[in-house]
Structure 1
Amino acid sequence: MTAQKTIASYRRMRQQPLWRLLAADNGPVIIGLLQTLLYEKERSLPASLLIERLDRELEELRNRGDDFPQTAQAYIAGWLRDGYLERRYPSGSSEEEYELSTASVDAIRFLQGQIKPHSAATESRLSLVIQSLVGLAEETDRDKYRRIDHLIAEQERIEQEIESIQQGRMKVLPRPVAVERTREIIALAEDLTGDFRRVRDQFEQLNRELRECIMDSDGHRGDVLDSLFAGIDLIAESDAGRSFSAFWRLLTDPEQSATLEEALDSVLSRGFVGELQFEERRFLLRLTRNLLEQGGSVHEVLQTFARSLKHFVQSREFLEQRRINQLLQKAQQAALLLKEEVKATEDLHYILELTSCRLRSFSQLVLHDPSLQAEAEPMGDGEAAPIDLDTVSELVAQSEIDFRSLKADILACLENCTQVTIAEVLRSFPASQGLGSVVGLLALASRHGMDGKETEQVVWTGDDGVTRAAQIPKYYFLKEQCDGLQ
């Protein structure tokens, strides 16, 4: 890479949140607050709790003479705008939640690495490199004879080590080496948990790119639309999606999880663990849970994006969005054509009505009292809601109905009579699936019954124990035409 390209890359990076955070005038304070609030303990907080805790921290800073004139809400809004925070709306939550962006996490980890740097070259890191290279060389070797020789040599080494242990010659890592290797494992695990955020960012970027591709494709359906209509999950089938899915399967594999838990318990029971710092021991103790929590969050994001993209296409929402984009483009093109004819300072003699809302105090609001609008006469029972065949077709397509049991109920009724209606079948055999049974009987009647050109009322009891009724077309199941129900 030439010097010009390197300089251009660094200039682009200079505008990214990571570099701007590290180079900010009050960067040490911002990073310290973000680390305390959203890194050391909780990794995400509801808005109200984050504001409350930030208020306390700002008050302490002001008492020490630091100048922080804005409110906690203003600082949070600024950090969100600058890319230091991310805001999400969890399903079922009453308020938004905040967490650190990938850039903020990288900045905190970079500074922590400067405060407690690794040794220039440690035995454990060199051993890890050697073992990885040896394993890679062996597992990519296509020469079967050479691989067999390696396995035989490994077998002989294991047998010699077993014999040495049986004779009382056991090699145990010295405490300093064991502590050093444990800290290297912790560093690798911390890098792994940090990778989850970058994977999630990749999914978000991929989701935006796929939507932009759908919006930009004009007229004919493009490759993205064809794939989505064919049922292909493009996000899960992407390189990032396949890589994370493989990692997630490994992480949630019962055998691997049991092996990891057993190894952690064994390490934590060793005497050298007492030389680790409290934060390091706590990290090891919570390693499995942290990996599952972070991985589960990314897995949920992956599934959410896949479902939302599929719904965006199948519900035809993209057509409306594309139409809006086209209207905006036409408006921009028209404005460009008029730019030479209409000056920016020229009066257009046009009044644009801006949308607004009327602000009132909560004390001015009056609670609604339904009794004030209640009618004097008692409320009567309403008519049963009608169910037509179009509604039945839609419900059948979306439901799992036990048609085998319904056919058996119809045949049982026809054993004692020559014809029977849906209402009579339900009186003899109450709807076991509630509305689903009614819909199933209507579907069978439309194919195997005779239209009575009338309507009838059916009654059923739902899973909630409430009795309901509906007005449906009247169909007759005939005994001489019941062969299709066999």
Structure 2
Amino acid sequence: MRRVHPAWRLLLADSAPLVASFLHQNFILPNVRTLSRPEILSLLEDALFAVREVAGPESYPREAADYLEEWASDERGWLRKYYPLDSDLPHYDITPATEKALEWLSSLEERAFIGTSSRLLTIVELLRQMAEGSETDPEARIRELERRKADIEAEIGRVREGRLDLLDETELRERFLQVEATARGLLSDFRAVEQNFRKLDREVREKVATWEGSKGELLAEVFGERDAISDSDQGRSFRAFWDFLMSASRQDELTRLLEKVFSLEAVERLRPDRRLLRIHYDWLEAGEVAQRTVARLSGQLRRFLDEAVWLENRRIMEIVRSIEQRALALRGRMGERAVVLLEDSRPDLRLPLERPLHRPPVRTRIRDLPLLPGEGEVSTDLLFSQIFVDRGRLERQLDRLLALRSPVSLGEVLETYPLTRGLSELVVYLVIASERRETVADEGREEVLAWEDGEGGRREARLARILFYRR
């Protein structure tokens, strides 16, 4: 590990103070997930200028771009360099190994306050949840619920009498510091989860590049590994965490609790980082990055299938062309008798039920009527307004459903209010979704939207699941 682990290499590097302080200041403290190359180069140049002012220009003589490329190289592995979709600028993010090294360095600082009571209560509460959650005896569960019911009723009685059990300032600060550490640790866990998905993606690409068997065997092995990750403890925990965050009521509850806690006087004295107020939105952003990594894995499999089909078709055409060339060569040497002409390379089978029934021809009657000159003006506005979609009506329908529950998917909206204008009305719904900030597109799930056209047929559209939230 001392030889190959990036975290250990960072701690051993001569430039470790610069690397650790710069990455901690620009990634960990502000909860930044990624920085583009111009942004991180500008920040690094400012950091190098400040260091050289104190330690002299010979302390770090190279350019900022050289240091950045070195930190993102495979030999170092302290930064991850990648290109996002629809962008030609490289972006950078710290790796999970780097974050571990920074966390360990932060733990070396002396802490003026070390809370133990809240962690003990957390341990006891977790043990209680495990014991109660694994209890199979109904009578035992009922006795435990009755005991908790009696405790709650006793507490209600004390509150009605005016006796309130409040946490003192020490207990409030202790619990807040634990919340802050746990919240930042979740972002670190997301980087590790994303790293695992990227590792699976890299393994799939390597197998695709070196695979010599059939496509079915490769897909079975790849999907087996993906299902194993999804069904693992980490995969199930990540899925439960993501479902919790996607709930609008949970997000509102987290926002309300954070605002109330930050307004406490004991917490204000700690001068907490105000960015913690939107930590749940940082969790959503980090989870979305992990979901997009899974989507890229699916895209890689799809491209592999397309390339494999193209190669097989190319091989078939090469074989057919070689047969034609040999046939022409034989005909030139031996004449027409040496060549057998085939009308088609495969039999043409037509089943009786595939033949259409007889339809008598339609006889058109043409009446010879004299043309008379017309009078009056004809409005041409109807030519340009054949299909009109009332956007206000669609927004009112959507707000009616959101008043009853939140979130509401686009499929649920169309089940309650079916499309009457076909695809044009669906496009207006998508425009509304793109303009509302309270809209989330879940790229990990697909939704089939169906409607009937004017000719009695059925139309379908497959889209990512779109969720509308109450304003």
Q: Quick one: which of 21, 28, 34 aligns to 2:23?
A: 34
Partner secondary structure for residue 55 of structure 2: coil
Taking every aligned residue pair, what percent have the same amino acid on both sides? 29
1:20 corresponds to 2:14: no
Query: How much has 1:299 moved relative to structure 2?
Result: 1.9
Say whether the 8 Å CA contact 1:214–1:222 is kept in structure 2: no
- Which of 59, 69, 89 is the aligned partner of 1:77? 69
Q: What corresponds to 2:276 in structure 1? A: 284
Deviation at 1:289, TM superposition (A): 1.9
Unmatched segments (≥5 aa) in structure 1: 1-11, 324-413, 419-428, 434-484
Verify: 1:68 aligned to 2:57, yes or no.
no
Q: Map residues 369-448 of structure 1 onto 2, 5 A cutoff.
A: none
Q: Give 2:138's aligned residue.
A: 144
> Where in structure 2 are the equivalents of 1:178-327 lying within 5 Å?
178-221=172-215, 223-226=217-220, 234=227, 237=230, 239=232, 240-279=234-273, 282-316=274-308
**Contact 2:190/2:287 (<8 A) preserved:** yes
More displaced 10-residue stretch of structure 1: 84-93 or 303-312: 303-312
Unaligned runs of 5+ in 2: 316-361, 367-382, 388-456, 458-471
Distance in 1 separating the partners of 2:90 and 2:310 = 26
TM-aligned CA deviation for residue 198 of structure 1: 0.2
Deviations 1:231-284 (A, max 9, x none): x975984535544233211111122222222222221222222122232xx143
* Gap change, CA 1:118 and 1:147, over 3 Å in 2: farther
Secondary structure at the residue paired with 2:199?
helix
Aligned partners of 1:133 and 1:140: how far apart in 2? 11
CA contact (8 A) 1:84 1:103 kept: yes
Name the CA distance, whole Å, in 2 between partners of 1:120 and 1:285: 23
Residue 58 of structure 1 and its aligned partner are, at CA, apart by 1.4
**Whole-Å separation in 1 of the counterparts to 2:291 and 2:249:** 20
Q: CA deviation at 1:108?
A: 1.6
Tell me if the contact between 1:215 and 1:318 (Cα under 8 Å) persists in the aligned partners: no
- Looking at structure 1, the residues matched to 50 and 180 of structure 2 have their Cα atoms a distance apart, in angstroms, of 33
Query: Matches of 2:175 and 2:62 in 1, distance apart?
Result: 46
Question: 3-state SS of the aligned residue for 2:293?
Answer: helix
Contact 2:197/2:294 (8 A) holds in 1: yes
How far does the alpha carbon of each residue in 1:410-436 deviate from its partner, in whole angstroms, 9 at most, with x for none? xxxx79679xxxxxxxxxx99x99xxx
Q: Hey, what does 2:122 align to over in structure 1?
A: 128
| Residue type at the aligned position of 1:32 | S
The aligned counterpart of 2:165 is: 171
> Using a 3 Å threshold, how does the CA distance of structure 1 residues 229 and 243 change in structure 2: closer, same or farther?
closer
1:55 maps to 45
What one-letter code is carried by the residue in structure 1 that aligns with 2:7?
L
1:229 & 1:295 partners in 2: Cα distance? 21
Shift of 1:217: 4.2
Output the TM-score relative to the length of structure 2: 0.61
1:113 maps to a residue whose letter is S
Residues 1:96 and 2:90 are matched in the alignment? yes
1:480: which partner in 2?
Answer: none
Counterparts of 2:179 and 2:311 in 1: how far apart (Å)? Answer: 51
Q: Secondary structure at the match of 1:64?
A: helix
8 Å CA contact 2:72, 2:81 repeated in 1: yes
| Residues 150-209 of structure 1 deviation map (CA, whole Å, 9 limit, x = unaligned) | 001001110010011001111011111111011111111111111010000000111122
CA distance in 2, matches of 1:276, 1:184: 13
- The structure-2 alpha-carbon separation of the partners of 1:60 and 1:269, relative to structure 1 and needing over 3 Å to count, comes to closer
Shift of the 40–118 alpha-carbon distance from structure 1 to 2, 3 Å rule, reads same
Shift of the alpha carbon at 1:315?
3.9
Write the letter of the residue equivalent to 1:132. L
Distance 2:305 2:50 in 1: 51
Q: 1:291 Cα deviation (Å)?
A: 1.4
What SS does the aligned partner of 1:87 have?
strand
Return the offset for 1:56: 2.3
- What TM-score results when the alignment is normalised by the length of structure 1? 0.59
Residues 134 and 238 of structure 1, relative CA distance in 2, 3 Å threshold: closer
String of CA shifts for 1:13-43, please: whole Å, max 9, x gaps: 5421101101212211221122223333344
Is the deviation greater in 243-252 or in 81-90? 243-252
CA shift in 2, pair 1:193/1:251, >3 Å:
same
* Structure 1 position 214, deviation (Å): 4.1
Matched residue, 1:439: none
Matched letter for residue 276 of structure 2: L
User: 1:212 & 1:417 partners in 2: Cα distance?
Assistant: 69
CA contact (8 A) 2:255 2:277 kept: no
Q: How far off is 1:221 after superposition?
A: 4.3
CA distance in 1: counterparts of 2:167 and 2:53, whole angstroms:
51
Task: Report the equivalent of 2:106.
Answer: 112
SS at match of 1:130: helix
Task: Please tell me whether the aligned partners of residues 225 and 313 of structure 1 are also in contact (alpha carbons under 8 angstroms).
Answer: no
Compute the displacement of 1:211 (Å).
3.2
Distance, in Å, in 2 between the alignment partners of 1:318 and 1:111 is 53
**Aligned residue for 2:372?**
none
Query: Would the aligned equivalents of 1:35 and 1:108 in 2 still touch at CA under 8 Å?
Result: yes
Q: Given that residues 27 and 33 in structure 2 are in contact (C-alpha distance below 8 angstroms), is that contact kept between their aligned partners in structure 1?
A: yes
**Cα pair 1:45 1:99 within 8 Å, conserved:** yes
Give the whole-Å Cα distance in 1 for the aligned partners of 2:85 and 2:271: 38
- Give the letter for the 1:184 counterpart: Q
Distance 1:235 1:214 in 2: 19
Aligned residue number for residue 34 of structure 2: 44
CA spacing shift, 1:60–1:158, aligned 2, 3 Å: same
| Offset of residue 292 of structure 1 | 1.6
